[in-house]
Amino acid sequence: LIIGQGAVTTTPLQVANAYRTLLTGENLAPTLNLNAEKIINNKINVSDEFISFLLKDLNTVTNKGGTAYVSFSVLGNKANDIGGKTGTAQNAGDKNNTSWFVGVDSISNPKYIVKAANKPSSSLSEFLTCIFSTTFSVFSTAATQIGRK
């Protein structure tokens, strides 16, 4: 699954890895296995101020006025501490768009980046609320551990 418009194309896993890199300063090879060995390509300097800005920005997506607000509103106050980025890959001539979401489990104490993509888009919100309302260990293959510095 590649998502993008114009010259920009990316996969949800690449977006998840980008967020992990920006939150930790470690450019890691993407993995879906929490027990996999970390392969650090390089480190980047990311200020605490930028990390705070990014988390606050991601948090606006899952709260009132955000593109994922309706999906996460069923979680009540728990949604106040979740953040993410939504996306839609539109299929020309096809009404079944692919929706995706890359999110962080907690704004106040992030531990996991979760990615989800689904077609058709309507059932993605059910999947997401299931992930965020259940213990992450059950969904370990769907989450990428952040490992904050």
Residues 70-107 have pLDDT tens digits of: 888 888 888 899 999 887 766 666 666 677 788 898 89
Closest among 79, 56, 78 to 69, alpha carbons compared: 79
* % of the chain with per-residue pLDDT over 70: 63
Helical ranges in 8-145 per DSSP H: 12-24, 48-61, 69-72, 124-132
Mode of pairing for the β-strands spanning 98-104 and 26-28: unpaired
- Which three-class secondary structure state does DSSP give residue 134? coil
In angstroms, what is the C-alpha Rg of the chain?
A: 15
Model pTM above 0.85: no
* % of the chain with per-residue pLDDT over 90: 15
Task: Report the alpha-carbon distance of residue 146 to residue 5 in Å, rounded.
Answer: 28
Amino acid code (one letter) for 92: A
* Residue 149 in this model has a pLDDT that exceeds 50: no
Q: How high is the mean pLDDT of the chain? A: 75
Task: Give the pLDDT confidence score for residue 1 in this predicted structure.
Answer: 44
Task: Report the alpha-carbon distance of residue 69 to residue 146 in Å, rounded.
Answer: 24
